[in-house]
Amino acid sequence: MDSKSQNAELPFASTAQFRLKAGLFPLTQLDISHYERDAFTEQLAQKAAEAPAFFQHTPVVLNFDTFEGTLTPPLGEICGLCREHGLMPAALRSGDDAILTQATDLALAIMPAGKTKVSEVASTAPPAPDPAPAKEEAPSPEPLPSAGPTKVVNTPIRSGQQVYAAGGDLIVLSSVSAGAEVLADGNIHVYGALRGRALAGVRGDTSARIFCQSLEAELVSIAGNFKLDEDMRAEHWKAPRQIHLDEQTLVIQPLS
Amino acid sequence: MARIIVVTSGKGGVGKTTTSAAISSGLALRGHKTAVIDFDIGLRNLDIVMNCERRVVYDFVNVINGDANLRQALIKDKRVENLYILPASQTRDKDALTVEGVEKVLTDLAADGFEYIICDSPAGIEHGAFMALYFADTAIVVANPEVSSVRDSDRILGILQSKSRRAENGERVEECLLLTRYNPERVAKGEMLAVADVEEILATKLLGVIPESETVLKASNQGVPVIHDATSTAGQAYTDAVARLLGDDVEHRFINMEHKGLFKRLFRRSA
Ligand SMILES: Nc1ncnc2c1ncn2[C@@H]1O[C@H](COP(=O)(O)OP(=O)(O)O)[C@@H](O)[C@H]1O
Ligand SMILES: [Mg+2]
């Protein structure tokens, strides 16, 4: 602490307390079309089980623009359920006054309704939100792309373990077990078998790729676009593959 | 320096206690001063498998709490020189084990000249299992040839290499896989995973394959660790595993189906 400033006559003087900066964050939108408590809870739980990495304090925008229910949905209850399942409602968009009033009471930010760039991107994205990088290291607020340090792991990544390469690529020289999870802001290379989950471009880098010697993954995802093992078993199973994103569609190709 | 070996698995009922009894007996048979500790507080059964349950006066938790000293609690095996058992408490709960308490017991055993300390882990990945593996230099990961057991072993290997004291110091725990209750006939029918499958999934060194054998149950009911039964295939396989643990180069046996040739059938009939 600067002792001079503490002794200064004007205690509120000079030292800047903050700086306003424009930030660009990939934000996930939850389009809510219907609300019935039990069904909603069940679907949240199901999605969270399918892709737990997506549900780790991930900020979301609740979107009611396409809401089809006739009754005004109980916003407080919806927010509570989201939080229980690892989603953090940060803002809301809706044209409905009753919903907007609730949002104000709940201190949610209000996003402009209607067509914006954000809505176009998010609404064509798959239902699961962009994954939040795991607890390990807090990602820096700077958005894409990633040219940071590469993280190299020599040992197998076992069931229950999670490895995240913040700001760069992840290289695994051994295999990734079923029940393990690897995440990177950049590309992921696995020189053994990929049996767990692999999420590349977790902060939105759509040019990130996944490479592996044997594709046996539970889930692969690039910038929030994912495929589950059932989508890969027929054609690509246990073969060397690379995965990239083409217009929000994951493309799997032989590695050769 | 004592070598601390944890026998662990994640899953219950796969053969950890059977293995702890066999391996500790085998090490003592090879002349090494060995202690085997039951970490399964509340569900102790190592003392039964080693036939000393009626000689338990003080237990592991008594020693940790300072109610008794190590010498009072250690039970000398009646069959092999150099082998001592530290039984679990049947009445306390797992939280009685503390990092400091366990560390003190292990250090005292080492100071007492024990060369090998075998820690029989409880099932699960909670406190008791964690206490059993925390100080390990070597881990014998016991798995059965089935998917769920292999998955749990994988999980335990991850915990070993990230949460143990060695891991905290940036070192690795030496890991080895012991595949137990292996039945080549069932593998051939596709009902069980083959050795090669398990080795591929776990990508770790194979210490041994213990065949499924009726002699194991008989041995534990009689309180004689199966390694003492030289006619049992399981006993022989454990003897091989102990040799490998000590650095001997021993070929793996009991992996393939026996071919009951003419000679064997004739031999059977006349026997
Ligand atoms: N190789 C084997 N063949 C047949 N039965 C076995 C074998 N190994 C263990 N068992 C039996 O499996 C059961 C569980 O073994 P145990 O050693 O108590 O497992 P854990 O300590 O992992 O719970 C016991 O009934 C034991 O006799
Ligand atoms: Mg046991």
- According to the model, what pLDDT value does residue A77 have? 93
- The verdict on A165 and A93 lying in the same domain is no
- The verdict on A167 and A243 lying in the same domain is yes
Conformational region of residue A179, where left means phi above 0, alpha means psi within -120 to 50, and beta covers everything else: left
B176 phi, psi to nearest 5 deg: -145, 150
- The verdict on A93 and A176 lying in the same domain is no
Domain end among A82, A111, A140: A111
Helix (H, G, I), strand (E, B) or coil at B24: helix
Question: B171-208 burial string, b = 16+ CB within 10 Å, else e?
Answer: eebbbbbbbbbbbbeebeeeebbbbeebeebbbbebbb
Residue B259 tokens, joined: 């071919």
Bridge partners (DSSP) of residue A50 are: none
Q: How far apart are CA A145 and CA B236, in angstroms?
A: 59
- The verdict on A212 and A156 lying in the same domain is yes
- The verdict on A155 and A250 lying in the same domain is yes
DSSP class of A182: E
Parts of chain A with a pLDDT under 50: 1-11, 115-144, 146
**Matching residue, tokens 């002349």:** B31
The verdict on residue A141 lying in a domain is no
User: Sheet harboring A197-200: ordered strands across?
Assistant: A162-165, A181-184, A197-200, A219-222, A225-228
A169 phi, psi to nearest 5 deg: -90, 160
Residue nearest to atom 23 of ligand 1 (CA): B13
Q: How far apart are CA A25 and CA A31, in angstroms?
A: 18
User: pLDDT per residue over A55-114, tens digit each?
Assistant: 777 888 999 888 888 888 899 999 999 999 888 898 998 888 889 989 988 999 988 765
The verdict on residue A243 lying in a domain is yes
**Matching residue, tokens 């230099």:** B137
The verdict on residue A247 lying in a domain is yes
Q: How far apart are the CA of B14 and the centre of ligand 1, in A?
A: 6
Which residues of A fall within a CB distance of 8 Å from B157? 156, 158
Domain end among A93, A111, A129: A111
Tens place of pLDDT per residue across chain B (271 aa): 899 999 999 899 999 999 999 999 999 999 999 999 999 998 889 999 999 999 999 999 999 999 999 999 999 999 999 999 999 988 777 788 999 999 999 999 999 999 999 999 999 989 999 999 999 999 999 999 999 999 999 999 999 999 999 999 999 999 999 999 999 999 999 999 999 999 999 999 999 999 999 999 999 999 999 999 999 999 999 999 999 999 999 999 999 887 655 555 555 544 3
The verdict on residue A204 lying in a domain is yes
For chain A, the domain total comes to 2
- The verdict on A96 and A168 lying in the same domain is no
Which residue, among B154, B167, B130, B202, has the nearest Cα to A179 in the 3D structure? B154
**Contact B124/A at CB under 8 A:** no
Q: What is the CATH number of the domain that holds A216?
A: 2.160.20.70
The verdict on residue A12 lying in a domain is no
Tally of CB atoms within 10 A around A182: 27
Bridge partners (DSSP) of residue A198 are: A182, A220
The domain of A155 spans: 151-254
Q: How far apart are CA B256 and CA B151, in angstroms?
A: 23
Angle of the B214-222 helix axis to the B16-29 helix axis, nearest 10 = 70
Burial of B112 (0-12, 13-18, 19+ CB in 10 A): middle
Q: How far apart are CA A241 and CA A211, in angstroms?
A: 6
- The verdict on A93 and A170 lying in the same domain is no
CA distance A161 to chain B (A): 7
Q: How far apart are the CA of B19 and the centre of ligand 1, in A?
A: 8
The verdict on residue A122 lying in a domain is no
Which residues of A fall within a CB distance of 8 Å from B146? none
Optimal mutation site among A153, A154, A157, A159, interface B, most CBs of chain B within 10 A: A159
Specify the ligand 1 atom closest to the Cα of B18: 17
The verdict on residue A166 lying in a domain is yes
- According to the model, what pLDDT value does residue B95 have? 81
Residue A209 tokens, joined: 């790729």
The verdict on residue A128 lying in a domain is no
CB A177 to CB B158 under 8 A? yes
Which residue, among B117, B111, B102, B108, has the nearest Cα to B33 in the 3D structure? B117
- The verdict on A181 and A88 lying in the same domain is no
Q: What is the CATH number of the domain that holds A31?
A: 3.30.70.260
